[in-house]
A and B are shown apart, each in its own frame.
Chain A
Amino acid sequence: MQVTINVNGEDHSADVEARHLLVRFLRDDLGLTGTHWGCDTSNCGTCVVLMDGEPVKSCTVLAAMAAGHKVRTVEGLEGPDGLDPVQQGFVEKHGLQCGFCTPGMMMTARALLDRNPDPSEDEIREAISGQLCRCTGYLNIVRAVQWAAQHPAAPAEAPAQNAGRAA
């Protein structure tokens, strides 16, 4: 069946089987391999992308179910002025080691900050509680999100403010 999904702001179509999972559509049909796949039981959360702005596990959504919706992946985080504050936060605070969980963690962090620009540590931990990290012990992921909260993206019309990111 023909499926059209808006991914990172652009419509993409592919002819897929009904059983095709969204994670596969992103990775195999669009070549967006930033979204990872780590389990068959909907538990690990490494496949998290944003669907209509909210985190979902792309291994547990059919591509057909996502048709007509807006999907955002880690490839869509970076803006014209450079890395998203969340990405920069992971750099600044060493929020990753192997990097396998990182795309999902960053998408969840982005959605959290979009709704709640100043989350408490508990709120950050709750937001990422559906996602496993086998490396970091989570502490630096929390710090990375806190860093991003403290360094929000400058409004588009004032790109000079981006200097704050280097702090």
Chain B
Amino acid sequence: MQVPAAFEYRRASSVEDALALLETLGEEARVVAGGHSLLPMMKLRLARPEYLIDINDLSDLDYLRVEGGELRVGALTRHRSLLESELVGSHFPIFHDAERVIADPPVRNRGTIGGSLCQADPSEDLSAVCAALRATLVVRGRGGTRAIPMAAFYRGPYETAVGPAEMLVEIRLPLVPHSGSAYEKVERKAGDWAVAAAGAALSLHGGRIGQAGIALAALGAATVNSVRAEQALLGQEPTEQAFAAAGRAAAQDCDPVTDGRGSAEYKRHLADELTRRALRRAADRAAVAALAAGAAGEDG
């Protein structure tokens, strides 16, 4: 049985306690949330921390609430809670699309959104979801908190803007009127990592696309948002033609590699096709949201 290399275990009793432990134990300390990325990596000696700080008792980091025009998600929120939350699904159906195909139920019972984003694996589905939704991430250290836009948080494979004595505590997702979102993923078998995936979020104003977020997973080490695809959409009507232009731009923006999951050429084809599919569904959902707001007499 493969076991991790030896380390010391500490259980944090509060966020402050975890931050104090991170500071005193130094660079060789890591927090463990669900442990479903970190423990497998430790078994393979891809990670070898000397101290593990268990944050699973910090139930005050496990929440979902709407506040200040945003959905606020605590970093310790499990995949399963995101999948089962009506609040999340009603504002951001992209989360439910993605969570249905992230790993499998026992993994989703443990894995957290904070762990997913901090792992910063280029194939991590929630990184793409949060990039498409233009999330802001709240990072806390003993000196205070800072809010970082997703684009600056993700620094490339397995690297984020979180400092060694800091923790991700909250994910903030702006609520955008008349918007819709969707996620499309191709995987080899149930519960597997993506061969390729695309997330789309857009809002409609007077029949035209107001805001657009397109993000890709497993399509290159550095690509998260496809800026060219987003630009191709702004101000356009939500037509097949506009979606095709965005798909082509996403395929140009990505940088896939050939591996056991498929050839670079095939993945590039998927970037195009999955972007179009995600956009179609996101636009349908945005149209429904706009209709519902219209019926309720709201002004978006």
Contacts and interface: CB of A to CB of B under 8 A. Distances in A.
Sort A-B residue pairs by CB-CB distance and give the 4 closest, nearest first: A130-B104, A18-B9, A40-B2, A55-B106
7 contacts: A21-B1, A24-B1, A40-B44, A42-B107, A57-B36, A62-B39, A108-B105
A65 B32 contact: yes
Interface string B37-53: 00110111000000010
Given A1-B9, A130-B191, A55 B40 contact: no
A56 interface: yes
Contacts of A57: 36, 106-107, 110
A65 B106 contact: no
A21 B2 CA distance: 10
Contact of A60 (B1, B40, B52): B40
B152 to A, nearest CB: 31
B164 interface: no
A18 B107 contact: no
B151 interface: no
A26 interface: no
Interface of B: 1-9, 11, 32, 35-36, 39-40, 42-44, 52, 54, 56, 80, 103-107, 109-110, 190-191
Nearest to B190: A129
Nearest to B1: A37
Contacts, number: 84
A126 interface: yes
A108 B107 CA distance: 12
Given A18-B7, A64-B11, 7 more contacts: A19-B5, A40-B40, A42-B107, A45-B104, A55-B106, A55-B109, A62-B32
Interface of A: 1, 17-21, 23-24, 37, 40-42, 45, 48, 54-57, 59-62, 64-65, 108, 126-127, 129-131
B35 A108 contact: no
Nearest to B8: A18
Contacts of B6: 17-19
A160 to B, nearest CB: 35
B9 A62 contact: yes
A61 B109 contact: no
B28 to A, nearest CB: 14
Nearest to B44: A40
A60 B39 contact: yes
B110 A61 contact: yes
A62 B43 CA distance: 12
Nearest to A18: B9
B67 to A, nearest CB: 28
A159 B191 CA distance: 40
Most buried by A among B4, B35, B80, B106: B106
Nearest to A66: B56
B109 A42 contact: no
